[in-house]
Amino acid sequence: MANEWFEFKQFRIEQDKAAFKVGTDGCLLAAWLDIEHAERALDIGTGTGVIAMMMAQRTTANVDALEIDLDSAEQAQQNVQSGPWARRMRVIHTSVQDFEPDRARYDHVVCNPPYFKSSTLSGDDRKDQARHETALTLEALFHHAKRLASDSAKFSMVLPVERWKEALEASQGEGWVLRRSLRIRPTVQKEANRILATWSTTPNELEEKEAVLYDEKRVYTPYFQSLLSPFYLHMD
């Protein structure tokens, strides 16, 4: 996914100026989360805008997308304006720490966070900010998601397995209750390396699952094909 653009079935993402390109993690998160009944949704750190646009495709919600990097925010705005849901989408150039909503709070908050914590920085400030925990910690993310959430809200994110315990502790500290999780194994021979998760502000029955992403031919397994087929070209 390293091209200057990425073509989906219902929209196109330009990404030559964005610090954080279209990636599998974000697409899986947006395709998996249960957002169909949302009325207002928020994407924190939208990058190209791909998660926000996938959410807009899946629901009739008004979708706001925050982006701290100016070039990325401008490109996300370009993508939103050229897409079919521009009337109910906004891209806002700001950090989540500084964001104060001018409308009702959100009933689903989503983030593909900058989750690398101990890795060596690249020296590119824009890329490091997008991928590494330099400006937004997990604790701060859960805090601000709660601050911006409605009383019955959900909060969804994707994380590497090695940050899972830390995420659970941070979520509990802010009063979030784990509602759904999906552990993703790259292949049947490998252990899970990513987790998709949804928290709620109210207690609910917990759903925990595990799934394999690719088969032996490096093709998406039927479960993930079913998730991604509404979005990806040549996948029906």
Is residue 94 one of the residues assigned to a domain? yes
Q: What is the pLDDT of residues 131-177, one digit of tens each?
A: 434 568 999 999 999 999 999 999 999 999 999 999 999 999 999 99
How far is C-alpha 210 from the chain's CA centre?
19
Q: Are 185 and 191 in contact (CB under 8 A)?
A: yes
Q: In what helix (H) or strand (E) does residue 196 lie, and over which residues does it extend?
A: strand 194-200
Is residue 5 one of the residues assigned to a domain? no
CA atoms of 147 and 66, how far apart (whole Å): 15
Q: Are 205 and 198 in contact (CB under 8 A)?
A: no
pLDDT exceeds 80 at position 111: yes
What's residue 2's pLDDT?
Answer: 53
What's residue 115's pLDDT?
Answer: 58
pLDDT band at 103 (very low <50, low <70, confident <90, very high): confident
- What is the residue range of 84's domain? 21-99+106-228
Is residue 155 one of the residues assigned to a domain? yes
Is residue 81 one of the residues assigned to a domain? yes
CA atoms of 139 and 152, how far apart (whole Å): 20
What's residue 203's pLDDT?
Answer: 85
User: For residue 27, what is the domain's CATH number?
Assistant: 3.40.50.150
Q: Let me know if 224 is exposed, middle or buried by CB neighbors in 10 A (0-12, 13-18, 19+).
A: buried
pLDDT exceeds 90 at position 207: yes
Q: What is the pLDDT of residues 71-92, one digit of tens each?
A: 999 999 999 999 999 999 999 9
Is residue 2 one of the residues assigned to a domain? no
Nearest to 184, CA basis, from 161, 162, 165: 161
* Domains: count for the chain: 1
Mean pLDDT over the full length of the chain? 90
Is residue 60 one of the residues assigned to a domain? yes
What's residue 134's pLDDT?
Answer: 52
221 φ/ψ angles, rounded to the nearest 5 degrees? -70, 160
Average pLDDT over residues 197-205: 92
Is residue 9 one of the residues assigned to a domain? no
Q: What is the pLDDT of residues 165-190, one digit of tens each?
A: 999 999 999 999 999 999 999 999 99
Is residue 10 one of the residues assigned to a domain? no
Q: Are 149 and 167 in contact (CB under 8 A)?
A: no
CA atoms of 146 and 124, how far apart (whole Å): 31
- Please give the sequence-ordered ranges of beta strands (E in DSSP) within the chain, or none if there are none: 5-7, 12-14, 40-44, 62-67, 89-93, 106-111, 149-160, 177-185, 194-200, 207-212
